[in-house]
A and B are shown apart, each in its own frame.
Chain A
């Protein structure tokens, strides 16, 4: 008991936060889930089994195909079923279906489409097919109307959607810390103007404005240009929460005795801000950021879903879900809804993580 108390008394702020955070089981699990997602996103191309952009009318709407691990003789030799063309007796059209008699074997670390990983040109993928005929592939999550492999598309989309959140939050964070900080440090007229601006922005309906602004982006912009424009548009309306957190914490901390002590000890204003104030609320900012990220991701997904966010050939969660927009399509190819699973998982994980961090951010509370 006594040793515990001692340990508590001499621990650094970071240690205290970590101890407290560890007690939130859901937050810990969420952190692992998010780490896995970001690692997957980094290796998206490596995990993709076929080119996410390659269309093939023969493979339109193929249902998810399982990977069989063992061959007929019981040896470990993963394979998937091939496809074959069958002539429809009524329309005489060639229709492609799964041929469960044909086994196409999987090769690990084989060659596939070319991509660059951290500046390195390569064509190695985790799984490719050996001796595949045209149109055959590892359709773990099925294919869409244009015959593109959903698993590969989802891997690449995850990268886009997860990074758009990070870029957006960085911009929001910059605006939030700058304006929230200015508001708190200078007070007076500046504070009033910034606070009123925040109130006004918070009472704007976000989606119509986002839609309007993103619709106005020129059609001839490249995917990258649109990507950055969209992040900026989203960030412009979402920095307000962060600014409020920063300002509130700044004001509360300024009244603390240790700040007075630093002032009396002759520390400069700058030193107080960077040496004393910022470290004391970094944890709060991290918590606020992890709660702002899911909002960012939902915004991008919604915009792209409506066809006014990122534009094909870009691939993001919203763009994948756009294909699942109407019920008739869904009834035909329900696996298209699989794109929703990572969205929900990631947002849920960010919320749990943010909650855990927020509780842990006040280690003495």
Chain B
């Protein structure tokens, strides 16, 4: 068990490191160094940078030195929480991102909960009542969920809400709450606004997991231990829920671990269509404007969140699967 956790933890650290290198590469990729870009940016907005200031900036980030030195200097600052300055906003990156990163997390987490609560019962029902009317309906919606990219779904829902209800369904807060300071009221407002984007975001993943759950459970239902449970005189409901569902949870849970990166990814696009105050729109805007410190930081933070989410899912998997707990000791 400890071996398993250690392995996962090391893998997580490796992933984090890789993400940090990629994030830094993204910061570095545009031609010319970013101090040039910074100077150009400031010049275009009317303020000038003295040669000395430019030199000290170059010094600070080790520009002109090999990639790994620059990376080292950058990561050393990141570790202590200094993510650099956004060129476009002229403010520290971390301030620009603000609570958007937590809202991103809230959205992904809400979508994860929706995925679980929908996929599990629907998958079980579809397998136990295979080829029933409801099974066909769920299968149909499942295919729609897989085939319709979620930004399209968001677009269509927005369109119908706008033309039929005359309402805008975007946003995570009511107008009067957007700028309000954090408190119970604002949190409650957020909870009221979360379901719609969370459901849209969760649909594709839910459809995938329903299919996985249904297929696995159909396999498990044919296994001899189900007959054993029936022969003990358990009710059908209890038999199914305690034994085959339990066994089918394993592939379900291990797949869930890969849902988190997908949700973080999907959340970005959905946020843009629905106008949600997550890091998604900020990332796209910063990339278009080549505000690379901001963009690189967002990619880094999203990556780290994903690693943490995946690690937690792994722990859940271990808790679900006794074989894993015992055999890896």
Q: Chain A interface (Cβ within 8 Å of chain B)?
A: 196, 199-200, 202-209, 211-213, 215-216, 218, 294, 298, 301-302, 305-308, 321, 324-325, 327, 330-331, 334, 337, 340, 343-344, 347-348, 351-352
Contact = CB atoms under 8 A, between A and B. Distances in A.
B54 interface: no
Nearest to A349: B147
Interface in B22-53: 22-23, 26, 29-31
Interface of B: 11, 14-15, 18-19, 22-23, 26, 29-31, 143-144, 146-149, 151-152, 155-156, 158-159, 162-163, 168, 257-258, 261-262, 264-266, 268-269, 272-273, 283-284, 287-288, 290, 295-296, 298-299, 302-303, 306-307, 310
Contacts of B295: 212, 215
Contact of A212 (B31, B265, B296, B310): B296
A215 B158 CA distance: 27
A305 B265 contact: no
Nearest to B170: A327
A250 to B, nearest CB: 21
A204 B19 contact: yes
Contacts of A337: 155-156, 159
A202 B258 contact: yes
Contact of B143 (A204, A205, A208, A348): A348
Contacts of B155: 321, 324-325, 330, 337, 340
Contacts of A343: 149, 152
A211 B149 contact: no
B26 A216 contact: yes
A203 B287 contact: no
Contacts of B158: 327, 330
Contacts of A211: 268, 283-284, 287, 299
Nearest to A213: B26
A208 B310 contact: no
A203 B156 contact: no
A331 B11 contact: no
Contact of B272 (A205, A209, A213, A306): A306
A204 B306 contact: yes
A207 B290 CA distance: 17
A207 B159 contact: no
> For chain B, what secondary structure do more than half of its interface residues adopt (helix, strand, loop), or is it mixed?
helix
Going nearest first, the 8 A-B pairs with the smallest beta carbon separation are A216-B29, A215-B287, A207-B265, A212-B26, A348-B147, A347-B147, A205-B264, A205-B261
A248 to B, nearest CB: 14
Nearest to A294: B147
A212 B11 contact: no
Given A205-B265, A344-B147, A348-B147, A308 B287 contact: yes
A196 B306 CA distance: 17
Given A206-B265, A344-B152, A327 B168 contact: yes
Contacts of A352: 143
A196 B258 contact: no
Contact of A206 (B11, B261, B288): B261
Contacts of A321: 152, 155
26 contacts: A196-B11, A200-B11, A203-B261, A204-B303, A204-B306, A205-B264, A207-B265, A208-B264, A208-B265, A211-B287, A212-B23, A215-B295, A218-B31, A302-B269, A305-B151, A308-B287, A308-B288, A321-B152, A325-B155, A330-B162, A340-B156, A343-B149, A344-B147, A348-B143, A351-B147, A352-B143
